[in-house]
Amino acid sequence: MIVLVVAYLASTFGIAHGSFGVQDVVLVAAVFAILAVSLDLAAGMTGLYSLGHAGLFALGAYATTLLNTKLDWNLFLLLPVTIVGVGLVGFVLGFLSLRVSGLYFAITTFIFTLVVVVLLSDLTFTGGLQGLAGPVFPDFPDALSFLGSSVAWCVSLSLLVTIVLVWSIRSSPLYPVLLAIRDAEPFAGAAGVRTSVMKVAIFGLSAALAGLAGWAFSFLGFISPGQFGWTISVNILVMVILGGINTRLGPILGAAFVSAFPVVVSIDPFQQELILGCIFVLVIVFFPEGFMGISGNIVRHIRRQSADAVVATPTDETSVEPIAYAPLAPASANATVESADIALEARGIVFGYTKGVRALNDVDMVVKRGNIHGLIGPNGSGKSTLVNLISGQIAPNLGTISANGHRIEQLSAPARAKHGLMRTFQTAVLVKELSARDNVTIGLYSRFPQIAVRSALWPLLPGARRDSRTMRERAVDALSSVGLASNWATTRVADLPHGVEQLTQLAAACVANPSILILDEPLAGLSSGEVEQVSEILRGLKRDGVTVIVVEHQTHFIFEMCDEVTVLAAGELVKSGTAAEVRSDDRVREVYLGL
C-alpha cells in the first residue's frame, strides 16, 4: 500500500520535471482518470450510467476560472467551493432524475450536458465559443521548487485523492451494498438500505469528484465549450468500459489509453474522430469487459489449467454431488419470549393495485411471537401482496400494521428492516459476481453504525478492519447456520446451484438476527432433500425465538411446520387459526385444498 503511494509520488516527481509536451499529455490523461474513476463509482458499482459527467466537469472548470479571474477568489478556497458546489448540482440532478428509472437517468444527464454546453456557448461572460484562459496555478515557493511543476503535483494529488476515496469504498462493506443496489434493489431495500437515498448520494459524490477534475483541468490552459460536449461524456464512459467497468485499475487504464490515443496516432482530426468512433463500437461489441476483463479471463484460464494439471479431479464434479450441508448449529438457549404476546398484527388491510379492484379487502392477520405462521391461498389470492405490505414494498390504502408494538404501515421497507423485520423473496436475486459470504454481509448493513459515511476512508479508520472481519465471520456463521458448508461461502453466487442460492438469501435475512422473518415461497424450485433442510432451519429459528411467516404452496409442509395458518382467497380472509383447525375447516377445503 505504502509502496504504491511512494511509487505514485515518485512518478509524479518525474513528470513534474518532464518536458511540457509530456506533461501536457499526462496531466490531461490524469484529469480524465479522475473523471473515469468517479464515473465508475456511479456507473460500474451503482449502475447509474451518467452522461452528465462532461457537464459537471465543465461546471467545475468554468466555476474555478470565472470566480478566480473575474471575482478574484483564492484558488485554494475554490477547491472546496467547487467540489461542494458541483456535488450539490449532482445531488439535485440525481434527485430529480432518479425518480423514474435508469434509462431516464441516462437521458436526463445527457440533456444536462447539452444544456450546460449551450449555456456556456451562448452566455457572454463565459467567453462564448472561444472560451476563457484558465487561471494560473501558483508556483511552489523557493523552498519547495525542487519538486518541479506545481500544476503536475496539483493534478496528481487530485487523482490520488480520488483513487484513495473510490478504492476505499471498494474495500469497505459498502461495496457489496452498492452492487446490490445495482443488481438486486429489492434485496438491498429489504436488508435495510435506503436505496434511493444511497443512489442520489453516490451520484452526488461522483459529481463532486467531476467538479474536482474540472478544478484541476482549469489550470491546464484554455477552456472552451467544445471540450465539454456530449461526446466527452460518452468518451468518459468508453474509458471506463474499455479499461474494465467496476475494476480498480480499469478506468485509469482506459483514461490513459483514450487520452494518449490522439497524441500517439497524430493524424488529421477528422480521421482521429473516425477511428475513435470505431473504437467505441468495437469495444462495446467485442470487449464489453475491457482490458481488465480480458486479462482476468486469461489469468483465470491459466490458473484453471494449472489446477487441472495438479489435481486430477476437476472442481466441477462438486456441483454434481449432493450439496454438502454442515450440521446445523445447536439451538442457543436465548429463547426469551418477550412479554408482548403478539409479534405482528395487520388489521383491516385494504389494498388495490388499480382503482376499484381490491387485491386485499379488509384482511386481518395476527402472528403470535415465536410462532411459525403459514400464509396460504390459491394463486391470485393476495398472499404476496400481503407480505409486500407487511415488509413495506407497497403501502396499504387502509388499515394498520404493527410489528413488535410499533406502528409500521407508514415506514419504508429499509426502516422496517431496522425494526427487526426481514424477508426473503420468492426467487433469490442476489449479486451474482460476489461470493455468498459477501452477499450475506449486505444483510448486516443496518447492524453496523455509519458504514456509508465511514466507507470513504474505510481502510484508514480505526475499528474498520475489525468491523470488516466481524461482518465476514458473522456472515460465515449465518451460512453455516442454514446448513451451508464453509466451502460455499467464498464461491461466487453466479456459480451456486439454485438451492444454495435460496439458502444464501435466507442466511442474508437471518444474519441480522431479525425478530420477525418473512419467507416468500422458500421451497420454490428446491429438491426434497433441500425441503427437509429448510424445515430443519425453521425449527432452529423457532427454537431461537424468531417469529416466522411462511408463504408457501406445499400444504403438506405448511401443516407440518406451522403453529398457526391464515388462509386467503380472492383477497378475502377465509380462515385463521391453528394448523389443525384450518386443515379441518370446510371452507378451506372447498376453496383451496379442493378435497
Partner 1 sequence: MLQVLLSGLAIGAIYGLVAMGFAVVFYVTRVINFATGQLLMVAIMITAGLAQVGLPDWLAIVIGLLASSVGGVLIYFIAVRPVLRFDRFSFAWLVSTLGVAIVLQSGAAIIWGPTSRSFPSLLNRQTLKVGPASITWQEFAAIVVAVLAVVGFEIFRRSTLFGKVGMAISSDPEMASAIGAWVTFYAVAAFAIGGLLAGIAGVLVGPITYANPYLGDTYGITGFVALMIGGIERPAAAMGGGLVLGVLSVGANTFIGSQASDWFPFVVVVVVLLVAPHGLFASGDALKRLVANLGNRHALAKGARP
Grid cell locating 410: 407508514
List the one residue from 280, 287, 448, 559 that touches partner 1 (CB under 8 A): 280
Return the number of other C-beta atoms located less than 10 Å from residue 506's C-beta.
28
Q: What is the DSSP letter of 410?
A: T
List the one residue from 432, 447, 543, 583 that touches partner 1 (CB under 8 A): 432
Q: What is the DSSP letter of 288?
A: T
Site for partner 1 in 508-527 (CB under 8 A): 525
Sheet containing 372-376: order of strands: 421-423, 516-520, 547-551, 372-376, 564-569, 572-578
CA distance 235 to 74: 31
Quick check: 195 binds partner 1 (CB under 8 A)?
Answer: no
Quick check: 279 binds partner 1 (CB under 8 A)?
Answer: yes
CA distance 448 to 193: 12
What does the angle CA 194 – CA 508 – CA 193 come to, to the nearest 5 degrees?
5
CA distance 504 to 428: 9
- CB half-sphere exposure, 572, CA atoms < 13 A: 6
CB of 234 to partner 1, least distance (A): 5
Grid cell locating 381: 389470492
Buried b (16+ CB within 10 A) or exposed e, 396-422: beebebbbbeeebbebbbbebbebbbb
Contacts of 293 (CB under 8 A, 6+ apart): 244, 247, 287
Quick check: 460 binds partner 1 (CB under 8 A)?
Answer: no
Kindly tell me which of 347 and 498 has the beta carbon lying closer to partner 1. Answer: 498
List the one residue from 277, 314, 380, 463 that touches partner 1 (CB under 8 A): 277
Quick check: 484 binds partner 1 (CB under 8 A)?
Answer: no
**In contact, 291 and 250? CB cutoff 8 Å:** yes
List the one residue from 35, 106, 181, 198 that touches partner 1 (CB under 8 A): 106
- Name the one range near partner 1 by CB under 8 A: 102-110, 458-466, 526-534, 536-544: 102-110
Kindly tell me which of 216 and 496 has the beta carbon lying closer to partner 1. Answer: 496
User: Judging by DSSP bridges, how do beta strands 516-520 and 547-551 pair with one another?
Assistant: parallel
Quick check: 125 binds partner 1 (CB under 8 A)?
Answer: no
**In contact, 46 and 222? CB cutoff 8 Å:** no
Quick check: 102 binds partner 1 (CB under 8 A)?
Answer: yes
Site for partner 1 in 363-402 (CB under 8 A): none
Quick check: 584 binds partner 1 (CB under 8 A)?
Answer: no
- Name the one range near partner 1 by CB under 8 A: 103-111, 368-376, 455-463, 551-559: 103-111
CB of 53 to partner 1, least distance (A): 14
Quick check: 278 binds partner 1 (CB under 8 A)?
Answer: yes
DSSP for 389-410, written as a single string: HHHTSS--SEEEEEETTEE-TT
List the one residue from 178, 200, 202, 237 that touches partner 1 (CB under 8 A): 237
List the one residue from 157, 260, 276, 456 that touches partner 1 (CB under 8 A): 276
Quick check: 129 binds partner 1 (CB under 8 A)?
Answer: no
List the one residue from 121, 150, 400, 513 that touches partner 1 (CB under 8 A): 121
**In contact, 198 and 452? CB cutoff 8 Å:** yes
Kindly tell me which of 183 and 563 has the beta carbon lying closer to partner 1. Answer: 183
Quick check: 262 binds partner 1 (CB under 8 A)?
Answer: no
Total residues binding partner 1 (CB under 8 A) = 48
Between the CA of residue 352 and those of 120, 360, 378, 386, what are the distances in Å? 49, 7, 18, 11
List the one residue from 115, 136, 263, 395 that touches partner 1 (CB under 8 A): 115
CB of 106 to partner 1, least distance (A): 6
Site for partner 1 in 37-66 (CB under 8 A): 49, 51
Q: Which of 218, 182, 240, 209 is nearest to 90 (CA)?
A: 209
Kindly tell me which of 84 and 96 has the beta carbon lying closer to partner 1. Answer: 96
- Point out which residues bind partner 1 (CB under 8 A): 49, 51, 96-97, 99-104, 106-108, 111, 114-115, 118-119, 121-122, 183, 230-231, 234, 237-238, 241, 245, 270-274, 276-281, 284-285, 288-289, 427, 429, 432, 498, 525
